Amino acid sequence: MGKTYLAWVAGEDIPDQGQIDLPLRQGRKGRVRVAGNRQEIRYDASAGLFALRHGSVHPGRPVYDSCTRYNVIGRHDGSSLLLLNPVTGRRHQIRVHLAWIGFPILGDPLFCPATTAARTYLHSWSVAVDCPWLAGATRRTFVASPDNEFLRAADEKVLELALDVAEGLGLIAAGGGTAARSSTAYGYVL
């Protein structure tokens, strides 16, 4: 299974692409957090990797590996539009990862409370599922276009670029047709 998300995050200086490899654990009041101190997070530009410094994971509580890959597909008015692929599927993984590296999702009430956004700008864009019982192509991708509120944050060029990047990464089928390029098409299959 493969999942792809879109998110508007605060800040334009996030590296163009990378991987966030930060283990998670349960914190106070049941909230999910990174299993180390924020000050111990390092960015390795040569590998495009955000990770905790070796040996800095907090001992004593269960720790869960978690990894998120991302590509910046647009920058606009102090924020960046990201294409995100969680490699693991931990609760609140994307929200926690982005907040802890300094790029919280706009509108996130827990990690970006100073924002004036009316909603959380995280959108589950597509899911690819293996269907071995089907003849021919056994992988199906289901796509849900973002709603108008999400789209208002971007201009048309940024959204076209998002689709081009997703096609180039093989996340959606190339030339998905006019329905795949329409901001009003919901729930189509590629």
pLDDT (0 to 100) of residue 143: 87
Domain 2-189: top CATH class: alpha beta
Closest to 32 in 3D by CA, of 108, 116, 125, 117? 108
Query: How far is 164 from 174, CA to CA, in rounded Å?
Result: 8
pLDDT under 70 in the chain at which residues?
115, 137, 152-190
Closest to 82 in 3D by CA, of 11, 144, 133? 11
Closest to 66 in 3D by CA, of 83, 84, 45? 84
pLDDT (0 to 100) of residue 164: 67
Joined tokens for residue 153: 């944050």
The residue to which tokens 């991302």 are assigned: 70
CB distance 166 to 4 below 8 Å? yes
pLDDT (0 to 100) of residue 174: 59
CB distance 131 to 8 below 8 Å? no
Give me the chain's average pLDDT, please.
82
pLDDT (0 to 100) of residue 181: 42
pTM, full prediction: 0.80
